Structure 1
Amino acid sequence: MVEVYIIRHGETDTNKEKRINGNSTDLPLNEKGRKQANQLREVFDLSDFDEVISSPLIRAYETAQILTENTGIEVKTDVRLREADYGSWDGVSEEKLYKEHPEVFDDNGYLLPDYIKYAQDAENYEDVYQRVDDILNEISQLGDNKKVALVCHGFISRALMKVIMNIDDISKIIQPRNCGVSRYRLNKDGKRYLIYYGRKTPLEF
């Protein structure tokens, strides 16, 4: 089996300001976000990982660089791990959008799939599920006892959980906090297992 660790990036200003933080809000980590990544590195050693693959967006790649500092591991990037593209809603205040379109937010304040009725040039959730499933299928074929870290985003972490565990409704999945870590096992024959979801420091990994 392949051990896969899913890591959400550290905090950005758009996270702090509670704005939609999608593919087009390509911002670096803020001070708190860099601190979160450094705290995670202190308890989560990536030096024995076979691969570290990051979303190409700055906030994820910067998180990956901090986590692999002094490990000798080269961070790869894969566009399939980029955050969902919320189109014209990217960067917009969540509070503003909720006042205008409360029907496209679930009970936990996350966007429902039909938000694309209102957000121009937005990405369909089904397309996101397909691209993360594609990368999971590739990783599952790497061989036994491989360890892979994927550094990505909040919705992508939820989408990966949905696809791995075959959950019918993504609204059932809470978003991990910044620098939260989830762990799964992938078998070559397609079986997938959850070990834990959204852990934060100083818990043991």
Structure 2
Amino acid sequence: MIVLMRHAQKEDSKGRCIGRTPLPLSDVGREQARSLVESVRGIGFKRLCASPAQRALDTVSPLALDLNMSVDTIPALNEIDMGKWDGLLFDEIRREYFAKYAERGDRFGSFRAPSGESFSDVADRAMSALEELAHSACPVLAVTHAGVLRSVLCRVTGHPLDDLFHFKPDYAHCTLFRSGNNGLELVADNVSPDDLSSFFESTS
């Protein structure tokens, strides 16, 4: 079983385009990371992984310390690269890149910001990483980002990438996948850490 978790709550970035812009965890996020230890330590994860973003690493670090495990950094699980738009206010983007911003609304899944990548690109790289994880020691916990989770969920379920905001992964919540006859299969999405261990018990 592969457990993909969205990182804990980050500091407020309302109104900004956030892809790989570094943002620390908020006070709530740091508490979520600490609480994660008690919630999931008994599951028996064989491997801990994370996006290279500091907010992802800070989410899994307390658990890794408690379990005396290292964290494997997986660049393919990083958030979408928004290129020249990363960190800008959306008001600035609409003003300075009016035509491009309108284009984004017409083809959300395949649109690339200047010098950035598309959600289709994100799905390609993330799916490749998940397929590798599926053949490693499991269960594995990998901390990633909302954009990655939404892209992967679209790819696995066949939901249109242009409607990826159909999926609403909460901070520090989990999406579970397993290997099936036709590749990765979705087991459950947006599972809280407190519910995760009982879910494993019920599906073991």
- TM-score of the alignment, normalized to the shorter chain, above 0.5: yes
Q: Alpha-carbon deviation of 1:28?
A: 2.2
Partner residue of 2:70?
74
For residues 105-158 of structure 1, the C-alpha deviation after alignment (integer angstroms, 9 at most, x for no partner) is: 48xxxx923542xx3211122221211121122122236xx2011111110111
Report the secondary structure of 1:161's partner residue: helix
Aligned equivalents of 1:4 and 1:81: distance in 2? 13
Question: Post-superposition shift, 1:186?
Answer: 1.6
Q: Partners in 1 of 2:175 and 2:117 — Cα distance?
A: 24
Q: 1:83 to 1:102 in 2, by over 3 A?
A: same
For 2:117, the aligned partner's letter is E
User: What is the CA-CA distance between 1:103 and the residue it aligns to?
Assistant: 6.1
Does the 8 Å contact 2:8/2:30 carry over to 1?
A: yes
Q: State TM-score, norm by structure 2.
A: 0.80
Q: Does the 8 Å contact 1:53/1:148 carry over to 2?
A: yes
Equivalent residue for 1:194? 186
Q: Distance in 2 between matches of 1:61 and 1:53?
A: 9
Q: Pick from 27, 31, 43: which aligns with 1:31?
A: 27
In the comparison of the two structures, how many residue pairs are matched? 192
Q: 1:27 to 1:169 in 2, by over 3 A?
A: closer
Unaligned runs of 5+ in 2: 198-204
80-89 or 59-68: bigger deviation: 59-68
Q: Whole-Å Cα distance in 1 between the matches of residues 196 and 176 of structure 2?
A: 12
CA distance in 2, matches of 1:28, 1:112: 27
The superposition leaves residues 75-125 of structure 1 with CA deviations (integer Å, 9 ceiling, x where unpaired) of: 11011111110011111234654685466348xxxx923542xx3211122
Identity among equivalent pairs (%): 24
Correspondence for 2:118: 124
Q: CA deviation at 1:32?
A: 1.9
- Paired with 1:128 and 1:8, the residues of 2 have a C-alpha distance of 15
For residue 167 of structure 1, report the CA deviation from its aligned partner: 2.8
Runs of 4+ in structure 1 over 6 Å off: none
Equivalent in the alignment of 2:202: none
CA RMSD of aligned residues (A): 2.6
Q: 1:103 to 1:41 in 2, by over 3 A?
A: farther
Structure 1 residues without counterparts, runs of 5 or longer: none
Alignment-mate amino acid for residue 200 of structure 1: S
Is the 1:162–1:170 contact (alpha carbons within 8 Å) kept by the matching residues of 2?
A: no
Q: Output the amino acid matched with 1:113.
A: G
State TM-score, norm by structure 1. Answer: 0.80
Q: 1:181 aligns with which of 166, 174, 199?
A: 174
The answer to whether structure 1 residue 139 and structure 2 residue 133 are counterparts is yes
| Match of residue 4, structure 1, among 2, 7, 16 | 2
Q: Which residue of 1 aligns with 2:18?
A: 21
Higher helix share: 2
SS of equivalent residue, structure 2 residue 139 = strand
Aligned-partner Cα distance in 1 for 2:126–2:60:
18
